[in-house]
Structure 1
Amino acid sequence: MNNVKARLRKSRRYLEMAWHDHRGGFFEGAVSHAYYAMNHSAKTFLVLEDISPKMHKGVILQLGKYVKLGKLNKDEVRSIVHGLTIRDRRNYNIEVVLDDDEVGELLNEAEHFVDRTEEVIGDA
């Protein structure tokens, strides 16, 4: 259970860093931190079952099980896919310009995902 709590704390910390970056106009950092907040939250579910995917998409694929169980909905899983897509677009295409609205939307999605994870895991 300590590993679960540590992951949840890490998720929350990444989310705080994302908002801090966003307020400072550091949109690339905000995107990265928002995605990793969701990634660490998602991994919290997997830690409970001793599952450790090696790739980002492996983590996302494992979340389908939690949709079937009713613990997450498809939109919540789409949020982490959205975060990974924007993060990859920003990392691998130097011409990409991120705007305040797009990044703010992602941060709101990340906030919801982290909150939802804490809610579901708290019931576990």
Structure 2
Amino acid sequence: MKGEEITRELEVAEEELSSAQILYEHGKYRDAISRAYYSMFHSARALLLIKGITPKKHSGTLSMLGMSYIKEGLLDEYYGKAFTKAFQMRSQADYNVMYTPSREEAEEILDLALEFLEKAQELVSGWIRGEER
């Protein structure tokens, strides 16, 4: 069950990133940022599930990723900063009607989300190989 849930989180992360890319291509930068963040969120949830951690809030996901992966040296601080930036920009995009994200801002978050997803897939793949032994 745990492996299935982890796999599903990554599938959803891929779907969210795909949606973000479509929105970006159509100039919907606000929604593209939001979807890109959710790709990162589901990638992070997959990683936390490996350790049996299931935070109830987005902020909990962010802080637990920092404690369980970054401080442990399992994930570079770069990814924590990327996730934090996406979290902050998603909040602006979703809740601040005066915020008008630029194409460049949206592109940056999409790039970060892709990197984050690829790293999560790499770590999950390593965990799955370890579980099969």
Q: Indicate the residue corresponding to 2:118 in structure 1.
A: 115
Select between 52-61 and 35-44 the one with higher mean Cα deviation.
52-61
- Structure 1 segments of 4 or more deviating over 6 A? none
Q: CA deviation at 1:49?
A: 2.3
2:120 is paired with a residue whose SS is: helix
Gaps of 5+ in 2: 128-133
Find the aligned partners of 1:15 and 1:90 in 2 and give their Cα distance. Answer: 16
Find the aligned partners of 1:72 and 1:30 in 2 and give their Cα distance. Answer: 25
Find the aligned partners of 1:90 and 1:18 in 2 and give their Cα distance. Answer: 13
Matches within 5 A, 1:98-113: 98-113=101-116
Find the aligned partners of 1:26 and 1:7 in 2 and give their Cα distance. Answer: 24
TM-score (norm 2): 0.89
| Number of residues of Structure 1 aligned to a counterpart in Structure 2 | 124
Gaps of 5+ in 1: none
Structure number, greater radius of gyration: 2
Q: Indicate the residue corresponding to 1:72 in structure 2.
A: 75
Find the aligned partners of 2:39 and 2:120 in 1 and give their Cα distance. Answer: 11
Find the aligned partners of 2:10 and 2:55 in 1 and give their Cα distance. Answer: 18
Q: CA deviation at 1:20?
A: 0.7
TM-score (norm 1): 0.95
Q: CA deviation at 1:70?
A: 2.5
Q: Indicate the residue corresponding to 1:40 in structure 2.
A: 42
Confirm whether residue 10 of structure 1 aligns to residue 5 of structure 2: no
